[in-house]
Amino acid sequence: MRSIHRKIVLAALGVALVVLCWGDARRALSYPGTAQGKKRVEIKISAVGDVMFGRYNSRRRYRPFGLNQPFSKVKHLWSGRDIVLFNLETPISAKRYRKPYRNLSFRAPPKVAKLLKDAGFTLAATANNHAWDQGDQGISDTIDHLKRAGLAHAGTGKTRAEAFRPWVFVKQGVRVGVISLTMLRNYPIRERVGFVGFVHYRRALKEMPGWVAKARGKLDFLVVSLHFGAEYKLGVIRREMKLMTLLHKAGADVVFGHHPHVLRPIERRKGFVAFYSLGNFLMDFRRKHTGLSGVAEVTLVKQGARRFIHRVGFVPVWRHWRGYPIAAVGRYGRLVRRLVRRYTLRMGVRNKWVRQGEAIEIERP
């Protein structure tokens, strides 16, 4: 009797061992990143809105702003990301090269480049309407100061070709390009030593897809930082939605919008996501809604021949009364989420939003 019982136990153990081994074999074959399975590579991107550090007032006196560790309360939000992008809404230069125009001329001292690097940023989008605030020499100075600090940039260059050329990030053989373009300018263009990726808004629908298609080339993914839209307008218009469709067809996977100084809708389509505006991140504005901002999060994945957007998220941020950005929690977080959600629904987008703490995740359509 004992012998029969022993044989039954041994047989059961043998069956269990076979099942376990078969399960491990199946997992090894199906799970990405294993020797037998398809290699999976994730590129995690964070992006924020407009950043500036000072302007000339109406009396042509320079007023610096945000020079005392302004990102200390938020830099943990992008810790460990592969690419951390921001819109540099100011030239960086030790000199003033252009006569200030009212209070709309910006300039930042050279030390801000290291401040940005120390905060964890990796890439400056430099194509915007304030790029020319210190003339083309200011554009050239900005490039030099960013390079010295170890920060990459996209959207400006010492030649026109360089201004439209994408910056490329490579991880385990996967190539992600970032191109920065602006449809707006504040000054007549006189480019000799500094150039900007500028496409006039009247020609944007016709010309911008061509620049995007050219930038896509042999890249696995393409991100577009786009300076466009009406200031202080939270909603989007059909022309802007049409532009997103054209950019997607031309090869863009992600668009991060800037310029309106307020948050605007988030639209996720199949294989594409557009943040129409990320608002102000470090700015001295005091108009309604200009103190609400956030950190966009996108995870791109290449697995074998497949390339797709795995995750899209958004972390609410608001401007503290002292002027620096801070993570929005409690009622401030609700205010930011409801604002973006309201205007996203108004444009007819019905993606499911999932709350994760104070952040949100936008699911696939």
Question: E strand or H helix at 269, and its extent?
Answer: strand 266-269
pLDDT of amino acid 27: 41
Whether residue 271 is found in the same domain as residue 328: yes
Whether residue 105 is found in the same domain as residue 17: no
Whether residue 217 is found in the same domain as residue 305: yes
Whether residue 134 is found in the same domain as residue 15: no
Q: Which residues contact 218 (CB under 8 A, 6 or more apart)?
A: 175
The total number of structural domains that make up the chain: 2
Instruction: Find out whether 353 and 361 touch, Cβ atoms under 8 Å.
Output: yes
Whether residue 130 is found in the same domain as residue 171: yes
Separation CA 71–CA 344 (nearest Å): 28
Whether residue 13 is found in the same domain as residue 128: no
Whether residue 4 is found in the same domain as residue 106: no
**Half-sphere exposure (Cβ direction) of 197: Cα atoms closer than 13 Å:** 31
Encoded amino acid at 8, one letter: I
pLDDT of amino acid 103: 66
pLDDT of amino acid 9: 43
Whether residue 10 is found in the same domain as residue 73: no
pLDDT of amino acid 22: 45
User: What domain range includes position 25?
Assistant: 1-31
pLDDT of amino acid 6: 52
- The CATH code of the domain that includes 326 is 3.60.21.10
pLDDT of amino acid 8: 46
pLDDT of amino acid 17: 42
Q: Which residues contact 151 (CB under 8 A, 6 or more apart)?
A: 113, 116, 117, 121, 122, 123, 124
Whether residue 15 is found in the same domain as residue 138: no
Per-residue pLDDT of the chain (365 residues; tens, 9 = 90+): 445 555 444 455 454 443 344 444 444 333 344 445 689 999 999 999 999 987 776 566 777 777 888 999 999 999 999 999 999 999 999 998 887 766 678 889 999 999 999 999 999 999 999 999 999 999 999 999 999 999 999 999 999 999 999 999 999 999 999 999 999 998 888 888 899 999 999 999 999 999 999 999 999 999 999 999 999 999 999 999 999 999 999 999 999 999 999 999 999 999 999 999 999 999 887 788 999 999 999 999 999 999 999 999 999 999 887 778 999 999 999 999 999 999 999 999 989 999 999 999 999 87
pLDDT of amino acid 37: 67
pLDDT of amino acid 360: 97
Whether residue 20 is found in the same domain as residue 65: no
